[in-house]
Structure 1
Amino acid sequence: MSIKPEEFAKSGFNFALFFANTAFDGIERLAVLNLAATRSAFEAYVSNLNALLGVKDVQSLVELHKGIAAPSIEKSVEYSRNVIAIATDAKEKIAKEVEVHVADTSAKVSGLVEKALASAPAGSEVAVAAVKSAIKSANDAIDGLNKVAKQAAEVAEASVSAATEATIKATTAAAPKAAAKKAA
């Protein structure tokens, strides 16, 4: 197996290009989401302002408040979910590519080391074994870090989802109570 330095450079360049394209894709998707959210918020603002101008009494104001609060919260939660989905998608694409890139590079480096060690002088078996052991330990450490990173990401995503759901429940339950207090 003959590996040339140009192959490592090309592999690194291709990885950097993939990373940049994935980042730009995520940024583009966030920009589209933000423009849509801004348009929706502006339209809701205009609609709510028109409705507010038509309020005749306190009871109508309380009803208007109830009608405005829930959709606003739902839109905010949906926006948050979309942002999380975009970030998660980009993270997963990059994580998969990193995994492939690390495995490929590790295989190439191991091949080079094996080739170099095969031509090691007699009596260097201990040094050869130490190098092989170090490579195996490094690969095991990388695998362990990848597993821990994936688990941490899953826990974070689950926490964000749970917090979002709790916020939705709390705000939808609190909105009618707050409106009732204002009416009193």
Structure 2
Amino acid sequence: MMTIDHIVTAHKKNVATAFDLSEKALAGVEKLVELNLQTAKTLLAETAEQTQAALSVKDMQDLVALHNAMLQPMGEKIASYSRHVYDIASALSAEFAKVAEAQAAEAQKQFVSALDSAVKNAPQGTEPAVAAMKTAVSTAAAAMESVQKAVKQATELAEANLKAVATTAANATKPPRAAKA
């Protein structure tokens, strides 16, 4: 049977979890802000260099060469930035998933405990209904675990595809190699 102490304890745990998740979310935002600040600083410095280089161009051939030299690393930089953002988001998502899994396991444990307590006070003959309820809870937990595994596999596949796309994009911006004679 749930007592006021059980309710207060559960509430305290939930509040602590909420604050923990808030701290993790803020840490993720902080990492994104740092990444964006560093990206902005780098972009500003590179733009200044490129502007100076463009102002010193004397003919069209130099301009085309400068243009190609500027474009080539752009794809790599965009892919790198995207990977960093993805890594930050993935780490944060993994932290949230871990907390959600722990909360679900704890809720299941408490439900089974409450069910066991209720059985002790239940009239004779309710054992089959309780057993059916416990089986349903176990089946639901197994289904949840299967879904979590499928989501993890899908996430890993998405990560592999993202890396492949980023590599392809970076390679597409590289100038073609000259044929050897």
Global fold match (TM > 0.5): yes
Partner of 1:18: 20
Q: How does 1:74-153 map to 2 (within 5 A)?
A: 74-153=76-155
Query: Which AA in structure 2 matches 1:64?
Result: L
- CA shift at 1:173, angstroms? 4.2
Aligned Cα root-mean-square deviation (Å): 2.0
Distance 1:17 1:112 in 2: 27
The change in CA–CA distance for 1:173 and 1:67 in structure 2 (over 3 A counts) is: closer
Query: Which AA in structure 1 matches 2:143?
Result: A
Indicate whether 1:154 and 2:166 are aligned: no
Q: Is the 8 A contact 2:74 2:173 kept in 1?
A: no
SS at match of 2:8: helix
| Aligned mate of 1:169, from 167, 171, 180 | 171
- The answer for unaligned runs of 5 or more in structure 1 is 178-184
Q: Is the 8 A contact 2:115 2:130 kept in 1?
A: no
- The answer for unaligned runs of 5 or more in structure 2 is none
- CA shift at 1:16, angstroms? 1.6
Aligned residues: 176
| Aligned mate of 2:54, from 33, 52, 55 | 52
Distance 1:141 1:13 in 2: 28
